[in-house]
Structure formats: C-alpha cells, structure tokens
Amino acid sequence: MSKAEAKQNINGILLVNKPKGLSSNGVLQRVKHLFHAKKAGHTGSLDPMATGMLPICFGEATKFCQYLLDADKCYETTALLGIKTNTADATGEIIARVDEFTVSEEALQQTIVAFCGKIKQIPSMFSALKHQGTPLYKYARLGVEIERSARDVSIHQLQVNRFDGQEIDLTVSCSKGTYIRNLVEDIGEQLGTYAHVTRLHRRYTAGFSDEPMYTLEELDCKSAAQLFDCLLPMDLAVNYLPRLDLDHEAVQALRLGKIINQQALGGASGCYRLYGPELQFVGLGDMSSDGVLKVRRLLNV
C-alpha cells in the first residue's frame, strides 16, 4: 500500500495542548501523521514559546478554519517588568532595562483598566503578519523595519492574578488579532518602565472553553479508535451562529447551486448553520432580509 493510499479521509476538530518549544506547524504535522490524515490545518498560530489550545481541523472541517481564526481567545500570561526585548518576549535580545523602579498595586490596577475595551495595537515586527507575501518576522531577522498601521482590537477582560512588584500574572480575554506581547509591552510603558512576556498559555478559543484538549504525549499513547474519540464535530466551530433545519429537497437544491425561499420560516437575515432532515450538519448559508437562502459553504460528505 502506498503512502497516498494509507492516508485517511478524516473530518472533525481536535484540540491540542501545544507544548512549549514546538511551532504550530510542527504540532500540526505531528498530529496529521498520527491520524494518517489526508488533509488538516491549524487555526491561529501560537509562538513556539507559547502553550495551550491549538484547534486542528481535519478534512471538511478545514472549510471552517477561518471562523475559528476570527473567534475570541482567552490567554494566561506572565509579564516581567523592567526589561524590554526586541521580540517583546523572553526569546528575544534585551535592548533596554531599568534596574530600579517601583510600581504599586494601585498603579497597576489603574493601568489595567485603561487597556480594557477597544484599543489600538501596532503589530510587532516579530509576528506572522505578512508584507508582500513575506512574514514580518523574516524582515525583522534581517534588521529590516516595515511600517505597520495600528489595528483595532478589543480586550474583553484583563485580570491581575498575581503581582509581586516585578512579575504580573494576567488573564486576558480578547478579540482576534490581539498580540499579548504588544499588550504587555504597552502596559509596561504605561507604568513608566519596560515589560516583556515570559509565559503565554492559550486557555481556550471561543466555543471550546468546556472541551478537553490533549497533549502530544497523551495522543501518542492512544489507539486508533481512541484517537477518533478525541475528535469534536465540525459544527462546533460555528456553534454561535443560528440554526436552520431543512428538508431533503431544500438541501439538494442548495447542493445544485440554487437559491431557495425560506420566508415562511420567518428567520432574520444573516449567516445560518444548515442541517438536513436527519439532523446532520450540511454547511452554512446566507439568508437575505426577504427570506432568500443561498449557500456560503457546504460540506462534501
């Protein structure tokens, strides 16, 4: 049997607890090999130094990767005050430091409040954002600075869990596109000193806060049947969208590229999760204000 024949068509979502030191793509390749999967992709890179939830989408679930990329995230992080690095984390070179400083608990709490809500961030040069098709971090390693525009992000929650005058443990709930390293660095500057990230752990991606995630060591010890038991259904990636149940004829019409009138159902306009007559998830559709439904994304299963 050839390698191509040995690959399996697998559909579902796996939540991996990414270890420190591995890239997100490195984790993806390990898991893809473990499942002998034909197709897989991860949703939202974590830096090699970061740990925590990395959703891996298999097969048809890759059609919904973007929805997980766009989802809110929750992180735990540790910030060390007094030191600035070129990467804003512990993997970088120290470029500035203040050996003597005093930050009170009161000053920290007041600063934290100022960073809650909608804020603007200028992405780090040591990020995966691309300029003319090349990640910014590759320019940074060559000493090339690319002008970046400030981006709007939302900090839903910013909680201090521990503060000893130098180290701060934080829980951050935020919108997509938020860079925790930048946030920590900006907090340090607001406190009149420097700061960088020494620990970063993604607790969860929105929609999966109550779901188990697995370490690579745990997955390595599982049988094929046990591995498949770890997979979550694809529609969990879009579980926040309203649901629409359709009969067999409507599903077939959508598969043929037709639009159908669902005005009698009285649904509001927007994107819907679509389910067939046997309650199986079939994809996503867009409903217009006059009740016309058309396909956005259908599963090929």
Picking from 195, 200, 191, the residue whose alpha carbon sits closest to that of residue 170 is 200
Kindly state the tokens that stand for 209: 């806060």
Please state, in angstroms and rounded to a whole number, the distance separating the CA atoms of residues 146 and 82: 26
Picking from 8, 12, 65, the residue whose alpha carbon sits closest to that of residue 38 is 8
Please state, in angstroms and rounded to a whole number, the distance separating the CA atoms of residues 141 and 252: 52
Name beta bridge partners: 298. Answer: 283
Q: Which of 47, 89, 186, 235 is catalytic?
A: 47
Please state, in angstroms and rounded to a whole number, the distance separating the CA atoms of residues 18 and 201: 9
For 38, counting Cβ atoms within 10 Å of its Cβ (0-12 exposed, 13-18 middle, 19+ buried), the class is middle
Active site residue 290: no
Residues with active-site annotation: 47
